[in-house]
């Protein structure tokens, strides 16, 4: 029967490489984010040079149109991104996995109702839900965005968990396990979670990236947390207007964002192999 | 006594009916969610009709007109009733029927989403299968790497970069805007949508490649494929006869979700390229606190998403040999 291991013919060495690069990228982001709590290259709120200066030894990525150091704003953006991604995935995973497992075990009617409700929640795309929450709360804050993104993620995670768990529960070894006296909770812990984890973890990483991207999009649309909360999305939106005179400004925050998201994805690729019960025995 | 094919048809019919009931139930839940969300928004919707310094009598009249003086349950019943008739009210700002504006906006958003989706599928299916089958070759690895890069890039940044390359440097396409006369001028519409479609297509293809690659790898490691090979089928025969059907099952539901997400994920792309679509209508309506427009856009988009999910589920049911077998077993 189909195992959920998706990487049967990849050389094992690549995974440890993924893990290392992922750890390095995410680790760099974490270190930089913590560093900004104590020290930044320049004052993020006040001008430290001329307007729209080109990159130089003093200002590695140049300055923005108010003469503020651009690198300072980007490193503060790293902190924002990390908070958003972690918070949203934590909320989404805890609600989503619980609901998904419950739905997989539920009676047919209850399962249908849960599936329909999840469809509704997914029908409100992440970004729209976040837009609504921001619109509903008069003052846009980082926390309302995180909560909205977390709720949106939880629906996606729940739906995926439900489908995956049902696939596992249909297997013969579940019957065998039940017959030998394992409780349903034991089945969930010993069989369902380890089997669905490889696919789930990939999804969590994707969702982390999507949450970071969604927050950036909100900021880009002008619905993000207001200044002085530096967000890569707002930086990019401001830089779009000056892309001809200061192209670095429209590139640097994007690279930082992409590096973090790719790092998370690579990290998950590596972690997937550690958490996969079929690996090691088959090869 | 039913012949096997009749039995199968009636099982599928029963499934369709059951799934349709779920669709209707979903729409009801959506109506509740929408109703609650909109009551959470600050301020009385009647305020939008009033000028500054309106007296008590004018306020009462406005509340009467909007219906916000009625008890909540009556407001809800009215709300559901009008949704069922596609009567979405009139915009506070423009005074025009909401459904008309939505219909006009859909002529931008739906083609944009569908063309982007088609482009993404056209890119992702061959590349996803190739990257799984040829994982050891350099191009297999290269496709995976590029798709990893692709899902990490925000769609608006892709838009900005494409504008920089194709509109500013190469001057091939406009950087934004939309012809006033819309689809009466097909050539210009397609010209205006070229970069937005490319933006959506590329970003979506990147995430689809991953799913298709995973599904293909799933198939490649399966016992039925090994059995088919042992029975003498060539690798490509086995893949085509058994692989595609089994591998497509999880992909169909992901395609449904992706298409639905694209439909409204277009909001950011519409902002980058200044397109008058559904997404920009919602953004504007939220800024202007134009509740009928907010509500109308959300209802129509939810309806579209639910219909897509409905279609994806039915299709998945029809093509999955295992689910079909189980359904027959349950019915007898």
Express each pLDDT in B125-135 by its tens digit.
888 888 888 77
Average pLDDT (B168-193) is 74
Q: Which of A221, A244, A266 sits opposite B271 (nearest CB)?
A: A221
Phi/psi-derived region of residue B87, left when phi > 0, alpha when psi is between -120 and 50, beta in every other case = beta
Whether B298 and A213 lie within 8 Å, measured CB to CB? no
Rounded distance between C-alpha atoms, residue A115 and residue B102, angstroms: 28
Report the gap between the CA of A176 and the closest CA in chain B (Å): 20
Per the prediction, chain B carries an average pLDDT of 78
The secondary structure of chain B, three-state, reads CCCHHHHHHHHHHHHHHHHHHHHHHHHHHHHHHHHHHHHHCCCCHHHHHCCCCCCHHHHHHHHHHHCCCCCHHHHHHHHHHHHHCCCCCECCCCCCEHHHHHHHHHHHHHHHHHHHHHHHHHHHHHHHHHHHHCCCCHHHHHHHHHHHHHHCCCHHHHHHHHHHHHHHHCCCCCCCCCCCCHHHHHHHHHHHHHHHHHHHHHHHHHHHHHHHHHHHHHHHCCHHHHHHHHCCCCHHHHHHHHHHHHHHHHHHHHHHHHHHHHHHHHHHHHHHCCCCCHHHHHHHHHHHCCHHHHHHHHHHHHHHHHHHHHHHHHHHHHHCHHHHHHHHHHHC
Whether A123 and B214 lie within 8 Å, measured CB to CB? no
Q: Choose the weakest-confidence range: A101-105, B67-71, B248-252.
A: B67-71
Rounded distance between C-alpha atoms, residue B252 and residue B315, angstroms: 8
Rounded distance between C-alpha atoms, residue A164 and residue A197, angstroms: 9
Whether A120 and B302 lie within 8 Å, measured CB to CB? yes
Q: Which of A1, A216, A250 sits opposite B160 (nearest CB)?
A: A250
Rounded distance between C-alpha atoms, residue A150 and residue A217, angstroms: 16
Rounded distance between C-alpha atoms, residue B79 and residue B31, angstroms: 8
pLDDT value for B258: 80
- B175 and A CB contact within 8 Å: no
pLDDT cut 90: percent of chain B above it: 4
pLDDT value for B323: 57
| Confidence at B330, pLDDT banded by 50, 70, 90 | very low
Structural domains of chain A in order of their starting residue, each with its CATH number: 25-276 (1.10.3720.10)
Whether A131 and B282 lie within 8 Å, measured CB to CB? yes
Single out the residue of A138, A155, A149, A153 nearest to residue A83, CA to CA.
A149
- Nearest chain B Cα to A265, which residue? B148
The interface predicted TM-score (ipTM) is 0.70
Q: Which of A135, A139, A163, A211 is the best substitution to test chain B (most B C-beta atoms within 10 A)?
A: A135
Buried b (16+ CB within 10 A) or exposed e, A34-66: eebeeebbbebeeebbeebbebeeebebbbbee
Q: Is A46 helix (H, G, I), strand (E, B) or coil?
A: coil
- Nearest chain B Cα to A14, which residue? B141
Structure tokens at B34: 């929408």
Single out the residue of A234, A201, A21 nearest to residue A97, CA to CA.
A201
Q: Is the pLDDT of residue B173 over 80?
A: no
- Nearest chain A Cα to B156, which residue? A217
Per the DSSP assignment, residues forming a β-bridge with B90 are: B97
Single out the residue of B54, B76, B33 nearest to residue B301, CA to CA.
B33
Q: Is residue A157 within 8 Å of residue A205, measured between CB atoms?
A: no
Structure tokens at B187: 């050539």
Report the gap between the CA of B33 and the closest CA in chain A (Å): 9
Q: Which of A9, A206, A221 sits opposite B151 (nearest CB)?
A: A206
pLDDT value for B122: 92
Residue B25 vs residue B41, higher pLDDT: B25
Residues of B in contact with A122 (CB under 8 A): 257, 260, 305, 309
Q: Choose the weakest-confidence range: A143-152, A193-202, B200-209, B235-244.
A: B235-244
Q: Is residue B317 within 8 Å of residue B17, measured between CB atoms?
A: no
Q: Which of B152, B223, B302 sits opposite A209 (nearest CB)?
A: B152
pLDDT value for A87: 93
CA–CA–CA angle A254, A260, A263 (5° rounding): 135
Q: Which of B42, B253, B283 sits opposite A221 (nearest CB)?
A: B283
CA B36 and chain centroid, separation: 23
Whether A8 and B41 lie within 8 Å, measured CB to CB? no
- B202 and A CB contact within 8 Å: no
Q: Which of B152, B207, B302 sits opposite A258 (nearest CB)?
A: B152
- Nearest chain A Cα to B217, which residue? A6
Query: In sequence order, what are the residues at sequence separation of 6 or more whose Cβ sits closer than 8 angstroms to the Cβ of residue B14?
Result: B331
Rounded distance between C-alpha atoms, residue B27 and residue B31, angstroms: 6
Residues of B in contact with A258 (CB under 8 A): 149, 152-153
Q: Which residues of chain A have pLDDT under 50?
A: 1-14, 280-283
Report the gap between the CA of B151 and the closest CA in chain A (Å): 8
pLDDT value for B115: 92
Rounded distance between C-alpha atoms, residue B237 and residue B225, angstroms: 10
Report the gap between the CA of A217 and the closest CA in chain B (Å): 7
pLDDT digits (tens, 9 = 90+) for B315-324: 887 777 665 5
Q: Which of B25, B160, B268 sits opposite A240 (nearest CB)?
A: B160
Structure tokens at B147: 């798709």
């Amino acid at each position: 029967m189909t195992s959920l291991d998706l990487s049967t013919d990849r050389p094992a060495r690549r995974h440890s490489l993924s893990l290392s690069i992922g750890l390095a990228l995410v680790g760099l982001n974490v270190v930089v984010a913590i560093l900004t709590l104590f020290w930044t290259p320049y004052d993020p709120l006040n001008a430290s040079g001329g307007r729209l200066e080109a990159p130089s030894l003093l200002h590695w990525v140049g300055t923005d149109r108010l003469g503020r150091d651009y690198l300072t704003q980007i490193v503060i953006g790293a902190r924002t991104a990390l908070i958003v991604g972690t918070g949203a995935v934590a909320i989404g995973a805890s609600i989503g996995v619980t609901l998904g497992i419950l739905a997989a075990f539920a009676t047919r009617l209850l399962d249908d109702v849960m599936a329909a409700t999840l469809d509704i929640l997914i029908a409100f795309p992440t970004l729209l839900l976040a837009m609504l929450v921001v619109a509903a709360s008069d003052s846009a804050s980082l926390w309302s965005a995180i909560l909205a993104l977390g709720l949106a993620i939880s629906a996606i995670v729940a739906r995926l968990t439900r489908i995956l768990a049902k696939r596992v529960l249909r297997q013969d070894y579940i019957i065998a396990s039940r017959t030998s006296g394992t409780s349903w909770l034991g089945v969930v812990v010993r069989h369902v979670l380890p089997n669905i984890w490889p696919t789930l973890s990939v999804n969590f990483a994707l969702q982390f990236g999507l949450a970071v991207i969604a927050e950036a999009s909100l900021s880009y649309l002008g619905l993000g947390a207001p200044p002085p909360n530096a967000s890569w999305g707002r930086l990019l939106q401001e830089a779009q207007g000056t892309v001809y005179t200061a192209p670095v400004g429209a590139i640097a925050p994007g690279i930082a964002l992409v590096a973090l998201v790719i790092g998370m994805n690579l990290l998950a690729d590596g972690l997937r192999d550690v958490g996969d019960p079929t690996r090691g025995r088959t090869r | 006594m039913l012949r096997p094919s009749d039995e199968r048809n009636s099982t599928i019919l029963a499934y369709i009916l059951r799934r349709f009931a779920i669709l209707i139930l979903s729409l009801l839940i959506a109506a509740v969610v929408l109703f609650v969300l909109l009551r959470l928004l600050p301020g009385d919707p009647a305020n939008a009709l009033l000028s500054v310094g309106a007296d008590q009598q004018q306020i009462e009249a406005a509340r009467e007109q909007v219906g916000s003086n009625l008890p909540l349950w009556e407001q809800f019943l009215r709300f559901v009733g009008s949704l069922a008739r596609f009567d979405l009210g009139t915009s506070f700002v423009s005074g025009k029927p909401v459904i008309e504006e939505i219909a006009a906006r859909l002529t931008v958003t739906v083609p944009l989403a569908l063309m982007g989706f088609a482009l993404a599928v056209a890119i992702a299916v061959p590349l996803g299968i190739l990257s799984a089958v040829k994982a050891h070759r350099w191009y297999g690895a290269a496709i995976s790497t590029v798709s990893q890069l692709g899902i990490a890039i925000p769609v608006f940044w892709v838009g900005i970069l494409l504008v920089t390359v194709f509109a500013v440097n190469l001057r091939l396409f406009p950087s934004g805007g939309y012809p006033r006369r819309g689809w009466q001028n097909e050539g210009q519409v397609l010209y205006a949508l070229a970069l937005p479609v490319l933006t959506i297509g590329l970003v979506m293809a990147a995430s689809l490649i991953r799913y298709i690659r995973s599904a293909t790898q799933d198939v490649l490691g399966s016992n039925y494929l090994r059995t088919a090979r042992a029975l003498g089928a060539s690798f490509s025969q086995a893949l085509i006869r058994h692989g595609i059907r089994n591998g497509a099952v999880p992909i169909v539901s992901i395609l449904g979700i992706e298409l639905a997400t694209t439909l409204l994920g277009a909001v950011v792309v519409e902002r980058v390229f200044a397109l008058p679509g559904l997404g920009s209508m919602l953004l504007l309506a939220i800024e202007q606190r134009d509740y009928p427009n907010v509500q109308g856009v959300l209802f129509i988009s939810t309806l579209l998403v639910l219909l897509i999910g409905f279609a994806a589920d039915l299709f998945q049911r029809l093509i999955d040999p295992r689910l079909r077998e189980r359904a027959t077993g349950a019915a007898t």
